[in-house]
Amino acid sequence: MAEAARGGPTPPHGGIPDEILIWDILVRLPPKSLLRCRAVCRAWRTATSARDFLIANHARQPTRPLLYVCNLPHYGHYKVGGDIDIIPFDHRAAADKLQPVALLGRASEFKDLVASFDGLVVFDWWRRKSLGICNSATRQYARLMVPMDFTFLGMYRHPPTGEYRVLMYPCLAAGREAGCYVLSLGSIQPPRSIVRPGEVHKEVIFGTKSVLFRGGLHWYRVQQHEGESNMIIVFDTTAETFRQMRVPVVRGTTCDGLFEMDGMLGMSSFNDKATSIDIWVLQDYASEVWTFKCHIELPLAEIMASCGKRDDDDSWETVVVPGDGELLVLVKFPNWLVQIDMDGKLVATFNHTGVQPTQLQLKQSLVPHDFFPSLHGYVVNGWPFT
């Protein structure tokens, strides 16, 4: 008994070696649980705050489709106040699959989610010259003041310098030299031109969201003029140059977007009525060889019956997006979200007003980003977080 007393209080981990506890157990916790465990003891707080641990923890987090809900209360004919729910769709959850990880109180200024990677989510606000950037795990938020004459195209991490950069294109009436520009987050320098005139045109990628794959931002480009072919535009984030890639020959359909699946670049396309989906994968990236993967028919009759919709109700929107190693089909009706599996079977329905699927994904991260404090309106746990 005396020996036990001299040994001090029982450690919180019940005698499990620290190496196993930290690197096999704590490292697998979701960010919210990891933050709570730091209150257990000083040793846990120190170990779980180290950068190498946070990077390892981020690598083990699931990658989930990103949804949002824009809640705008009505006052007469006006929409005032409200908030934005940021929701990583957890299709494997036993209960609430639409659990938000952040609430932002700027719904009246919200326009769209435009990018998400490394735990960051980038918002486009209706107010000109302003992008919002947040980390839902660390509850950091700041604004990126983009010059009024530029349009956002994408965001990436520049491997040689580690800088996070925004890719932009100047408006045609701005009087700037044509081409693309980059702006380094946290830098006081103005946007820098990186592409010569004529090398790329705004119509090539404007209006579509990019997919970051193999160190490049990828956009699907629909032909603009007769005789031109559809293609994929790739921006190399290291060399900061553009190139083009071939796409599969898909006739009578519309490409919905690009995604990463099983380490390959994938593409989804719909028929004219958006009732069926074809999935293609880039089997050989270097040789640009595409392979047809599967065909999915939406079970519209079953969907209509489950959601109480009429057979002639054609107001739906379909998004194909990977979710933690699986490919998901999400169908958006007014006030409903429907999940379909790869065999075309109805998996789940959610009666939720205003929920909107995107082609973006969220992989939460507690890794700190140095650029945050240097941006305009930087806050931690402050407004617009609610």
- What's the one-letter identity of residue 342? M
Task: Give residue 199's pLDDT.
Answer: 54
Q: Is residue 327 within 8 Å of residue 337, measured between CB atoms? A: no
Q: Taking a C-beta distance cutoff of 8 angstroms, is the pair 378, 370 a contact?
A: no
In contact, 292 and 282? CB cutoff 8 Å: no
Q: Kindly report, residue by residue over 129-172, the tens digit of the pLDDT.
A: 678 999 999 999 999 887 767 788 899 999 999 999 999 887 76
Q: What whole-number percentage of the chain has pLDDT above 90?
A: 43
- Measured torsion, CA atoms of residues 49, 53, 59, 64, in degrees rounded to the nearest 10: -20
Quick one: pLDDT band at residue 5, thresholds 50, 70, 90? very low
Residues 267 and 245: their CA atoms lie apart, in Å, by 13
Q: What is the dihedral of CA 45, 46, 51, 56, to 10 degrees?
A: -60
- pLDDT, one tens digit per residue, over 170-203 is 776 555 666 788 999 988 888 888 875 455 554 5
Mean pLDDT computed over every residue of the chain: 83
Instruction: Delimit the CATH 2.120.10.30 region(s) of the chain.
Output: 61-380
Which range, 227-231, 271-275, 356-360, has the best average confidence (pLDDT)? 356-360
Which of 131, 155, 156, 127 shows the shortest CA–CA distance to 141? 131
Task: Classify domain 61-380 at the CATH topology level.
Answer: Neuraminidase (2.120.10)
Output the pTM of the full model.
0.87
pLDDT of residue 282: 94
End-to-end Cα distance, the chain: 51
Q: What is the pLDDT of residues 36-87, one digit of tens each?
A: 999 888 889 999 999 999 999 999 999 999 999 988 765 444 455 678 999 9
Sign of CA dihedral 121, 125, 128, 130: negative
